[in-house]
Amino acid sequence: MAETNTESGLAPDALYRACPPAPLSDEPVEEIDLLFGQDRAKEALRVGVGMSAQGYNVFALGPSETDKAPLVRRLLEQEAAAKEPPSDWCYVFNFEHPNEPRALRLPAGQGPALQTDMEQFVDDLQTGLAAAFESEEYQTRRQLIVDEFHQEHQQALSELNSKAEARGLAFLHTPTGFLFVPVRDGQVLSPDEINDLPEEEQERLKAAVEELQEELLHLLRSVPAQQRKMSERLRDLNRDVARYAVEDLIRDLRATYQAHPAVQSYLDAVEADIVDNINNLLPQVLRLGGAGFSGETLRGGLQRYTVNTLVAHENANGAPVVYEDRPSLRQLVGRSENRIENGVLVTDFTLLRAGALHRANGGYLMIDARRVLQQPFAWEALKRTLRAGEIRIQSPYEEIGLVSTVSLDPEPIPLNVKVVLVGDRWLYYVLQALDPEFDELFRIEADFEDEIDRTDESERRYAQLLRRLAERADLRPLQPEALARLIEHSARLAGEATKLSMEIDTMREIAQEANFWAGENGRDAIAREDVARALDARRQRAGRLRERTQERILDETLFIDTEGTAVGQINGLSVLQIGRDAFGRPTRITARVQLGTGKVVDIEREVELGGPIHSKGVMILSGFLGARYATEQPLSLTATLVFEQSYSGVEGDSASSAELYALLSAIGEVPLRQSLAVTGSVNQHGEVQPIGGVNEKIEGFFDICRERGLTGAQGVLIPQANVKDLMLRAEVVDAVRNGEFHVYPIATIDQGMERLTGQSMGERRDDGTYPPESINERVASRLEHFAEERAEFQMSQDGQEQSVT
């Protein structure tokens, strides 16, 4: 790049580094490493993903426009493809602790198979139990037990009846019990007839009645015990029949899952539970009969023998890579759903649902950092889960103590996952500073570059990247000239002509818009003009505030001169970033001096509109002045600096050189050219230091001058160190080429002052003086005059005090 520094300023070639389109010519797009230029991040990801120790999760940080998430995901998918699919996880009923469902681990793909097999088992069980308990054999055996009890009871009653008869008594049944009463010839004796009997006979009958009553009472009191025995025998019968019905079905399942001890143990528990609870299951079984598997089967006792497959990897070709874009607590760690039964919310193990951590278990989980922090309880739950190394499904209401009713507490599932958080850089540093657990859990930062060096090779690969993006977005192909324009804009975005921005999202947007304009123009491919049009349109859309500011300057609401000269007044430059747009804006800076005590007063700071960096810049001016002009006598002036018509905060020191020019002008009463604007910070040695936003600042002043009419005398002074950052609009470059506008690189305050005044600063002589009529001499003379005035004033003050005392 040619860069000629002449009296008329920088050559046009120095203002814009074009990208030659020839090397970007249309050739097959090879498989580009989309992480090119991101070596730091790539290496960090490789290490983070490869390390299995706890705590080595990854935070991928960088500007949101760097398209981190898809790049990271692609890398994770490559890694995951080489790994084996992880285990399936199921939840089953816990027969010992019903509120604590058990977790079953199975090889990949076996979870759904077990679920299906158990559904079939329940179906067969229902049919088998119904058949067994409706069989004639069971009914007969049951009836035998019942009959035995009844027969024993009836036999006893019959015997009592016989005894009663033998003693001349009748054994009568009442609605609630029994009576023994005397009879004769089959008829119950009336009280009168009884009284007519001999005393002895009455006594005998009475004794017999009482004896039989006692015997009957004893018999009836034994009934509950006998009924319990009968119930026990019936229960044993039911258990035997159930065991018989279940054995066959369980045998087949045991054979299928013989290689899985956990399943074997579960089947043991199922079998035991069916047998132990057959009395509770029977009503449902017999009611449904052999109806088979149905929704009703799932409710009630048989549901407990089903399996809930929480996560399965039956068709997986590697480890899972999960991107959770709604990282709420429930979405992360799973949830327990509810259903309504009889107006009440109920839940059970079949209603447990997997979260992203379950799905990613054994693989990788990507989460947007900002989103997880915005979700209540999610961040804490994520950290807790990573620390514990297990996933526990918990209700969010339990977290805040709103619910204390009995709910499910499923067995936690061991966690083996690599979490990759994706977020902005500032967020990473905030977490690092404020969350003590963060560093322990996310030890690897994958820092994505905002920009890369701009070389021939990187331009070529960048072009390939853009072409790949266009392909994936189904855009028209990009002509080499269009690619070149995009690359040039990428440098503009990076703020340096020697860099390329990695804001891939932004580049993709521009390509999308250029594609639109290509269509509007009837083109089959995207041309340079389409890219330029897209950029102009974006600038136009975001330019309302810029245009309003410009209007206010042009209609002289805001005072900015672009011609003539003035003492103690200069055009400074600042950048305003509003939304997507950043634009430069000239501001009048003025300086006034008076007799004083050597203080440079920053009015912005005094009214608390100046930030600390701005204040620092102003203080540096004092250092410069003192070092150059006050080595043998103190500064005896008070100077005030202000950004005229600025009513919002001022920060940064990029205007400190302009402030110094204004100050020197005010002290030496040397007029400054108002056709020039200045940007650049200054140090105490008078060296002009680089600043940011140089392109926007130049263009901001240019736009005003253009609207008023370019005179050929207008231009901008910029730090020499910022020349390499120049990527100015074509309009500006053309104006420079035509001699209508100028950009002057400045390395020292002396250079700048000479440019602004057209006069020589003057070299300091050995005796410490400066050449006559030089700017330095005039400044030094003025300061000396202030010092003398001050001394006189001081002496007069002292004299007055002495006369008083």
Partner 1 sequence: MDKSKASPDPTDIRRVLLPLPPSTLDAEAVRVVTRLAGQLRAEILGLFLKDETVGRGAAVPYAREVRRLPAAIVPSSPEGTERQLQAQIRWAEALLRKEARKTGIRGRLQVATDSVVDTVRSVSGAGDLIVIGEPVLRAKGMDSLLESLVGGVHPVLTIPPWHLLPPLGIAVVFAPTSNGVRALQTAGQMARRLRRTGITLLVLNDDAERDEETIEGVRRFSEAHEMHVSVRRLAALELPHLAKAVPTEGHGLLVVPRPLLQPAMRQMLHTLRTLPGPFLVTP
Cβ–Cβ < 8 Å for 570, 661:
yes
Query: Between residues 159 and 773, which has the closer beta carbon with respect to partner 1?
Result: 159
Element (H, E) at 638: strand 637-643
Query: Between residues 165 and 551, which has the closer beta carbon with respect to partner 1?
Result: 165
Distance CA 611, CA 651 (A): 5
Distance CA 403, CA 407 (A): 9
Residues facing 585 on adjacent strands: 574
Distance CA 270, CA 251 (A): 12
336 contact partners, CB below 8 Å, separation of at least 6? 347, 351, 352, 353, 393, 395, 407, 408, 410
Cβ–Cβ < 8 Å for 460, 509:
no
Query: Between residues 283 and 712, which has the closer beta carbon with respect to partner 1?
Result: 283
Query: Between residues 278 and 666, which has the closer beta carbon with respect to partner 1?
Result: 278
Element (H, E) at 4: none
Task: Report the C-alpha dihedral over residues 679, 663, 569, 715, rounded to 10 degrees.
Answer: -30
Distance CA 381, CA 367 (A): 13
* DSSP strands (E only) in 312-450: 321-324, 335-336, 339-341, 344-346, 352-353, 364-368, 390-391, 413-414, 418-423, 444-447
Query: Between residues 212 and 716, which has the closer beta carbon with respect to partner 1?
Result: 212
Q: Taken in order 728, 732, 738, 742, is the CA torsion positive or negative? A: negative
Catalytic residue among 42, 418, 499, 697: 697
**Which residues contact partner 1 (rule: CB under 8 A)?**
134-136, 139-140, 143, 150, 154, 158, 161, 170, 172-182, 188-191, 194, 206, 209-210, 213-214, 216-217, 220-221, 223
Query: Between residues 140 and 294, which has the closer beta carbon with respect to partner 1?
Result: 140
Q: Which two tokens stand for residue 98?
A: 């019903």
Q: How far apart are the first and last CA of the chain?
A: 76
Query: Between residues 139 and 597, which has the closer beta carbon with respect to partner 1?
Result: 139
Distance CA 347, CA 421 (A): 33
* DSSP strands (E only) in 190-334: 307-311, 321-324
> Which of 553, 560, 549, 551 has the alpha carbon at shortest distance from 588?
560
* 654 is an active site residue: yes
Query: Between residues 108 and 194, which has the closer beta carbon with respect to partner 1?
Result: 194
Residues facing 567 on adjacent strands: 671
* DSSP strands (E only) in 653-805: 671-673, 676-678, 681-682, 688-689, 715-719, 742-746
Catalytic residue among 654, 657, 665, 681: 654
Element (H, E) at 315: none
Q: How far is the CB of 398 from partner 1 (least distance, A)?
A: 46
Q: How far is the CB of 229 from partner 1 (least distance, A)?
A: 17
> Which of 705, 700, 704 has the alpha carbon at shortest distance from 729?
700
Q: How far is the CB of 230 from partner 1 (least distance, A)?
A: 15
Distances (CA, A) of 629 to 399, 562, 568, 660, 784: 69, 31, 18, 14, 9
Residues facing 311 on adjacent strands: 89
Element (H, E) at 58: strand 58-61
Distance of CA 731 to the CA centre of its chain: 42
Distance CA 656, CA 600 (A): 13
User: What is the Cβ-side half-sphere exposure of residue 723, based on CA atoms within 13 angstroms?
Assistant: 21
Cβ–Cβ < 8 Å for 126, 285:
yes
Q: How far is the CB of 136 from partner 1 (least distance, A)?
A: 4
- Cα 283–287–290 angle (5° rounding)? 115
Q: At residue 185, what is the residue type?
A: D
Element (H, E) at 111: helix 110-134
Q: How many residues in the chain? A: 805
Query: Between residues 202 and 565, which has the closer beta carbon with respect to partner 1?
Result: 202
Distance CA 778, CA 781 (A): 5
* Cβ burial, residue 83 (10 Å; 0-12/13-18/19+): middle
Query: Between residues 47 and 197, which has the closer beta carbon with respect to partner 1?
Result: 197
Q: How far is the CB of 176 from partner 1 (least distance, A)?
A: 6
Query: Between residues 137 and 556, which has the closer beta carbon with respect to partner 1?
Result: 137
**584: alpha, beta or left? (left if phi > 0; alpha if psi -120 to 50):** beta
Query: Between residues 188 and 430, which has the closer beta carbon with respect to partner 1?
Result: 188
Query: Between residues 5 and 154, which has the closer beta carbon with respect to partner 1?
Result: 154
Cβ–Cβ < 8 Å for 41, 25:
no
Q: Which two tokens stand for residue 644?
A: 């005229």
Q: How far is the CB of 290 from partner 1 (least distance, A)?
A: 13
* 697 is an active site residue: yes
Cβ–Cβ < 8 Å for 503, 524:
no
> Which of 616, 706, 707, 597 has the alpha carbon at shortest distance from 655?
616
Distance CA 558, CA 549 (A): 9
Query: Which residues are designated catalytic?
Result: 654, 697
